[in-house]
Chain A
């Protein structure tokens, strides 16, 4: 079929029909200062010049030699099979199927992802995925409001400050109030949420308590006690988890979590300028009708063969319109597939080794920092693969180390004034002993 643009006479007839003398007149409301042509932008470039300019800009990127940056996004080894799988055109070029049952392969891959997330979290049902961990957390809190018909949510200050900001944004529309449960920020304190304080804040109109495991500061929270505190107030318990940690920490399904939200990036997705990531959400079957977003189910066709369907779609916006469980979500199918390929490639033993290596290196790091006297742990008690340390004059030294190609983790003072001169340092299986030595000696040299 040839493309036939409007002719001059077509345009003249349309203008006459609507009573406008020229196309220009349609844009009369747009100020001249913001019209095309009024911008101060450079002239066009030839392809060769564009390549040179982009290369120059790319050259300004600093690729650190050594990085201890985590704070919600983690560098892990991604087995080559992951990019091989997600690079297959059957997956990489297919959009969300609107005649879903025709795309059995896509549905099977999503079903396998959901099954893996259920196994990892110890929950009964998982969604086809969400944008990222922060939006999955916010969706879980809103889901708790629908389930309990309550309109306040309590969130531990140990949940990532970014997640808490997204939660505030999501809650502002439906008028859900967010209350913050403090954590113990005292020097040498636990750095975790106190279940008794949480219980005291949980009035009978609070829909859920949201807590993170490990929390933003790497500390291991008393999830079972927090879950009990939530349930004692008739509220639900929302666990925000780091997925690799589930290989060695208790699964949310075991400590009574009603809802689980997580950032799936550590599962086979590289850190790359903040995305794309993938949000994970899991729940109990009893609350499945309030879950947001897509769900794939397994069934049998008329000949008894196994098949996959998009199920319980009556929750979704294409059917329920403004009354859908969520009007602000979609799945991240390709990233979910990466997570499924990663989990399948590393297996339960591999994931356990990833978690154990990260935690082992975090302990080496803390010991090396304390032995040299350049930093000490800010909190006491168990921690996972990220450690919060006090470093005098942290901001200046963080900047100086960055100049030397060392990212000394995340500077915590910006979001939490009580943690000025405090660094959050992440380790994974990619963190070598040499990396740790280099950080320690750079901190010694900038004392």
Chain B
């Protein structure tokens, strides 16, 4: 399986797209497929402070509940409200319409500890 080249990936199967001091985060297609049909997501609050690799929310599928782990730290500036009534976007378009939150980065160098697409493909292969 291949993954978008412009993203970085965590071992907990979250992705991050860094643009300057801002980043968008979500879960990978691998995570979405493993979870199965996602029926609910508990989103973080705007203004919440995320620490890299710490839990910041919950996703619930028909077969499991999993914590969401922040791939990168920072302050939440926006959450994807569309997921509240349409959590299936996490399955149908995890790297696009299924984004979870946007954050103002606390430390942009944290991204260096994440995998690139090739390494993540090897990790999940």
Contact = CB atoms under 8 A, between A and B. Distances in A.
A95 B64 CA distance: 25
A30 to B, nearest CB: 42
Contacts of B60: 289, 314
A289 B64 CA distance: 14
**How many A residues touch the partner, as a band?**
under 10
B67 A314 contact: no
Q: In this complex, which of B40, B42, B64, B65 has the most chain A Cβ atoms within 10 angstroms of its Cβ?
A: B65
Main secondary structure of the interface of B (DSSP, over half): strand
Interface of A: 289, 314-315, 319-320, 323
Nearest to B55: A323
Contacts of A320: 65
Nearest to A321: B65
Contacts of B64: 314, 319
Contacts of B67: 323
Given A289-B40, A315-B65, 4 more contacts: A289-B42, A314-B60, A314-B64, A323-B65
Nearest to A324: B65
13 contacts: A289-B40, A289-B42, A289-B60, A314-B40, A314-B60, A314-B64, A314-B65, A315-B65, A319-B64, A319-B65, A320-B65, A323-B65, A323-B67
Contacts of A323: 65, 67
A284 to B, nearest CB: 16
A289 B87 CA distance: 15
B64 to A, nearest CB: 7
Nearest to A289: B40
Contacts of A314: 40, 60, 64-65
Contacts of B65: 314-315, 319-320, 323
Contacts of B42: 289
Q: Which 7 A-B pairs have the closest CB atoms?
A: A314-B65, A314-B60, A320-B65, A319-B65, A289-B40, A319-B64, A314-B64
B54 to A, nearest CB: 14
B43 to A, nearest CB: 12
Contacts of A289: 40, 42, 60
Interface string B27-56: 000000000000010100000000000000
